[in-house]
A and B are shown apart, each in its own frame.
Chain A
Amino acid sequence: KAGVTQTPRYLIKTRGQQVTLSCSPISGHRSVSWYQQTPGQGLQFLFEYFSETQRNKGNFPGRFSGRQFSNSRSEMNVSTLELGDSALYLCASSPLTSGSSYEQYFGPGTRLTVT
């Protein structure tokens, strides 16, 4: 089975721009979560989608948004980029089946640099 894929892998944007990141979960996985990783804050939960619905949201401003499509693929969008948004953005998918309900499988991440 192919793993979680994220595109693009690297991105450079300037302050004020917006960006869209894409995630394709493992086939059959319906839950997709997004995390931000920075050296200072570690891994922080952004939001989770399941069956095209946002089920859970972390403590991030409204500039961070996402969506999930019927094929479980997900996108996250960051508008009005700030320097502090520079981070590794990780997507994780989960099968949510009995016996493995909470295991998340991460993609390689998208490294976003805001200048």
Chain B
Amino acid sequence: DQQVKQNSPSLSVQEGRISILNCDYTNSMFDYFLWYKKYPAEGPTFLISISSIKDKNEDGRFTVFLNKSAKHLSLHIVPSQPGDSAVYFCAAPGDNYGQNFVFGPGTRLSVLP
């Protein structure tokens, strides 16, 4: 059974600085992880993914790091912008077939101007 934890419910960061959001998972059998961003009254928006064959994936200001031995993911946003203020969800496969993803509870990021 997969569990996904995001232990920080909220995070405040100054504009221009780095935001680091963390995620821990329990079942390392599955090899693909996703990050989503969600604004109020909208569905989650896919942000970035990482496969377990890598330990880092970068897309513009967003970088995801994977530490397989620690079963830990982190999302780095550099530089942070006020428009990044949203709830960020980490997701891991619940099983090895289909699209059963287990989502973490989310971290609310506030980027202060």
Closest B residue by C-beta to A43: B103
* Complex contact A103–B100 (CB within 8 A): no
Q: Is the interface of B mostly helix, strand, loop or mixed?
A: loop
* Complex contact B97–A104 (CB within 8 A): no
| Range, interface on chain B | 20 to 34
* Complex contact A45–B43 (CB within 8 A): no
Q: How far is the CB of A103 from chain B (nearest CB, A)?
A: 5
Bound complex: CA A43 to CA B4 (Å): 11
Closest A residue by C-beta to B42: A108
* Complex contact A55–B104 (CB within 8 A): no
* Complex contact B98–A103 (CB within 8 A): no
Task: Tell me which of B49, B104, B105, B106 contacts A103 (CB under 8 A).
Answer: B49
Q: What are 20 pairs between A and B in contact, CB < 8 Å?
A: A33-B100, A33-B101, A42-B104, A43-B44, A43-B89, A44-B103, A56-B100, A58-B94, A92-B43, A92-B99, A94-B99, A102-B49, A102-B101, A103-B34, A103-B46, A103-B49, A104-B34, A105-B46, A106-B43, A106-B46
